[in-house]
Amino acid sequence: MDKLIITVAVCGAEVTRQDTPYIPLTPEEIAQQTYDAYLAGASIVHLHVRDQEGKPTQDAEIFKKVVKMIRERCADIIVQVSTGGAVWMSAEERLQSLQADPDMATLTTGTVNFGNDVFMNSMPMVERFASAMMERSIMPEFECFDMGHIANAMQLVKKQLVKGHLHFDFVMGVPGGIAANARNLVAMVDNLPDEATWSVAGIGRNEFTMAAMAIAMGGHVRVGLEDNIYISKGVLAKSNAELVEKVVRIAKELGRQVATPQEARQILGLRGNER
């Protein structure tokens, strides 16, 4: 088995200070929590940013600023910007994060209900996002909120709209998306081509059970306050690092070594951090 790549999803677009006082919102808070998570064992940061009021934004200048701050502190961490943004954002708005020159970017490959909202990703949009990433030599991570999203990603490969190593993230447990359970995870993995790598982001109380399954199955793991704000039942996590530390403990118990950012780059076929 490859070493374990841990992605930290530090703040997302939805979680507020009302939900948890520990969510990082300012560039300084996001960079500091990323650094602490990196020290704890995260090799990829999945990045959203917020405006001065703490609201989600895809503003290119804020992304550039936060990416710079993160790279100054965490030399070789893999920076993966979100192109998902928030449900109300236009495609144009969402694509702005690519201007921050990240290593990777998320590419959600289909539309999904998202609680009472709709996270819109029509195929023409997905194709446009894929081409924008390829033009900038940014590696996509296919975000699959449901089974059909894997088939859509493979359509992009067939049409040669994406090239290089294929890496998937299964976002499981979003109300409206695929449920987070073992049977669904096995089915998702069974639908991948052999050479692909994958990680799981279990949403809410599913975060650590899905992480344990992924660790045991040879997949990779995403955790963070974007996905889950609790370290255990009813107890708020005090930081993203605390969530990463728990994954590292589970991995250790299961005998799986954690990848450094350099090792993660090799596993994903990503070039070094010469950007």
- Measured from the CB atom, the residue of 82 and 96 that comes closer to Zn ion is 82
Tokens 């921050």, residue located? 100
| CB closest to Zn ion, residue no | 82
Cα–Cα distance, 129 to 144 (Å, whole number): 15
SS3 137: coil
Q: Would you tell me which residues interact with ligand KMH (CB under 6 A)?
A: 12-14, 82-84, 86-87, 106, 108, 114, 119, 143
Contact residue for Zn ion among 33, 34, 58, 82 (CB under 5 A)? 82
The partner in contact with residue 111, picked from Zn ion, ligand KMH, none with C-beta cut-offs of 5 to 8 angstroms by kind, is: none
- Measured from the CB atom, the residue of 82 and 240 that comes closer to Zn ion is 82
- Measured from the CB atom, the residue of 87 and 216 that comes closer to ligand KMH is 87
Cα–Cα distance, 238 to 71 (Å, whole number): 23
The partner in contact with residue 197, picked from ligand KMH, Zn ion, none with C-beta cut-offs of 5 to 8 angstroms by kind, is: none
Q: Which residues pair with 118 in a beta bridge?
A: 113
The piece of 18-26, 80-88, 108-116, 127-135 that touches Zn ion (CB under 5 A) is 80-88
- Measured from the CB atom, the residue of 82 and 197 that comes closer to Zn ion is 82
The partner in contact with residue 86, picked from Zn ion, ligand KMH, none with C-beta cut-offs of 5 to 8 angstroms by kind, is: ligand KMH
Asked if 14 and 7 count as a contact pair (C-beta separation under 8 A), the reply is no
What H or E segment, with its residue span, contains residue 168?
strand 167-172
Task: Give the total residue count for the chain.
Answer: 275
What H or E segment, with its residue span, contains residue 68?
helix 60-73
The partner in contact with residue 114, picked from Zn ion, ligand KMH, none with C-beta cut-offs of 5 to 8 angstroms by kind, is: ligand KMH
| Rounded least distance, CB 249 to Zn ion, Å | 24
| DSSP per-residue string spanning 180-227 | -SHHHHHHHHHTS-TT-EEEEEE-GGGHHHHHHHHHHHT-EEEESTTT
Q: How many residues bind Zn ion (CB under 5 A)?
A: 1
Residues that bind Zn ion (CB under 5 A): 82
